[in-house]
């Protein structure tokens, strides 16, 4: 199997949606098991209003870790691939209007990825790298991306022209579209869409659909618990994935045989941001082409930590 960073980048992007989107086991048993969801000393059954409350000149630092194991099985043979990815980003709030809409400048400050399979490839934006395949990605690190978000997490505006320019300067125009789609999905997946109405423990609400050229993710959230002082809440993601038309090359037929998403998100109600999250997705695809059939099983664990200054 020949390796190219472009499909790997695209697949990573799908994982960022799940935030976003995200095999039996990794090298160690249960290596991708989720940590326990936060538990509060006391809980409340009263409703709370969840809103993003970032203030002008605040800086949010995000760190996202993605670990994926993929197994492709065909004709009694199995190919195993692993990917580890770390993304660090900084969000600087430049304005907040009277409706609470937040304008910010987002920068991906570091990206690390390691792919192990038929061939091993490693990239770290903090280290010199002469591989021309990663030149476009490296050029986009620390590029400011203006965006505007509503208090419930809906993306109102995103200006990706700085990314396009960076890609063109690096002579990586072909990569620009992939990275542009990836960034859109990252924004949509990182900021959980909140309920328009106040919610209490046990409530569920729909949170829209994230669409790309590969997959659609229909999102909902369930309120797992609310702290006794109502300053924190734990949300559980509920997502249904479907493959978009044209997700695979012509002549390749694929369907999702099974999917299971588990996880939690800790939302700071008082400060108005999601401080921690862990999400695990297991998905089995059945693929057929040229009279041959294969099964691809992936397990992806995404961990997000965030801090405000």
What does the pLDDT look like over 166-189, one tens digit per residue?
777 766 655 555 566 556 556 555
| Block residue for tokens 């990206």 | 111
Distance (Å, rounded) from C-alpha 190 to C-alpha 60? Answer: 12
What does the pLDDT look like over 117-140, one tens digit per residue?
778 889 899 988 777 777 777 888
Distance (Å, rounded) from C-alpha 62 to C-alpha 58? Answer: 13
Residue 82: predicted pLDDT:
92
- The mean pLDDT of 259-279, rounded to a whole number, is 94
CATH class, range 5-25+40-308: mainly beta
Distance (Å, rounded) from C-alpha 305 to C-alpha 160? Answer: 24
Cβ atoms of 51 and 268 within 8 Å: the answer is no
What does the pLDDT look like over 44-89, one tens digit per residue?
999 999 999 999 999 999 999 999 999 999 888 888 999 999 989 9
On the CB side of 282, CA atoms within 13 Å amount to 11
Residue 158: predicted pLDDT:
82
Distance (Å, rounded) from C-alpha 88 to C-alpha 90? Answer: 7
pLDDT at 29 over 50: no
pLDDT at 3 over 70: no
Interstrand relation of 204-211 and 155-158 (parallel, antiparallel or unpaired): unpaired
Q: Which token pair is 126?
A: 């903090």
Q: Annotate 154-186 with DSSP letters as a single string.
A: -EEEE--HHHHHHHHHTT-HHHHHHHHHHHHHH
Burial of residue 113 (number of CB atoms within 10 Å: 0-12, 13-18, 19+)? buried
| Block residue for tokens 């057929």 | 288
Q: What is the mean pLDDT of the chain?
A: 82
Residue 31: predicted pLDDT:
55
pLDDT top residue among 256 and 130:
256
Residues 6+ apart with CB under 8 A from 299: 23, 24, 25, 26, 32, 68, 69, 280, 281, 282
Residue 176: predicted pLDDT:
56
Cβ atoms of 254 and 298 within 8 Å: the answer is no
Distance (Å, rounded) from C-alpha 293 to C-alpha 14? Answer: 24
pLDDT top residue among 240 and 23:
240
CA dihedral 132, 146, 240, 284 (to 10 degrees): 10
Residue spans of the domains in the chain: they are 5-25+40-308
Cβ atoms of 286 and 303 within 8 Å: the answer is no
Q: Which whole-number Å values give the CA distances from 119 to 14, 28, 115, 186, in the listed order?
A: 22, 21, 8, 27
Residue 220's SS3 state is strand
- The mean pLDDT of 135-164, rounded to a whole number, is 86
Cβ atoms of 308 and 278 within 8 Å: the answer is no
Can you list the positions of beta strands (E) in the chain?
59-74, 77-96, 102-116, 121-124, 145-149, 155-158, 204-211, 215-226, 232-243, 252-268, 273-289, 292-308
Whole-model pTM: value is: 0.82
What does the pLDDT look like over 281-290, one tens digit per residue?
999 999 888 8
């Amino acid at each position: 199997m020949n390796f190219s960073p472009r499909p790997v980048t695209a697949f990573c992007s799908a994982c960022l949606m799940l935030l976003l989107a995200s095999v039996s086991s990794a090298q160690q048993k249960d290596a991708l098991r989720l940590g326990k969801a936060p538990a509060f000393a006391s809980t409340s059954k009263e409703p709370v209003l969840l809103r993003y409350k970032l203030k002008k000149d605040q800086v949010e630092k995000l760190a996202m870790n993605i670990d994926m194991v993929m197994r492709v099985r065909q004709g009694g043979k199995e190919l195993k691939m692993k990917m580890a990815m770390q993304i660090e980003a900084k969000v600087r709030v430049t304005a907040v209007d009277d409706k609470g809409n937040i304008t910010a400048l987002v920068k991906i400050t570091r990206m690390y990825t390691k792919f192990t399979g038929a061939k091993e490839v490693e990239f770290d934006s903090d280290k010199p790298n002469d591989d021309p395949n990663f030149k476009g990605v490296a050029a986009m690190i620390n590029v400011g991306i203006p965006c505007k978000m509503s208090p419930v997490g809906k993306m109102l505006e995103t200006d990706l022209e700085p990314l396009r320019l960076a890609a063109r300067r690096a002579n990586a125009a072909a990569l620009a579209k992939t990275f542009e789609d990836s960034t859109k999905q990252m924004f949509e997946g990182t900021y959980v869409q909140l309920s328009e109405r106040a919610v209490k423990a046990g409530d569920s609400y729909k949170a829209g659909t994230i669409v790309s050229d590969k997959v659609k993710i229909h999102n909902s959230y369930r309120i797992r618990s609310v702290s006794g002082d109502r300053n924190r809440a734990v949300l559980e993601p509920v997502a249904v994935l479907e493959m978009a038309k044209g997700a695979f090359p012509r002549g390749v037929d694929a369907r999702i045989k099974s999917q299971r998403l588990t996880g939690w998100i800790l939302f700071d109600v008082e400060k108005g941001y999601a401080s921690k999250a862990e999400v695990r997705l297991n998905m089995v695809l059945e693929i057929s082409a040229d009279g041959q059939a294969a099964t691809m099983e992936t397990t992806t664990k995404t961990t997000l930590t965030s801090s405000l200054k």
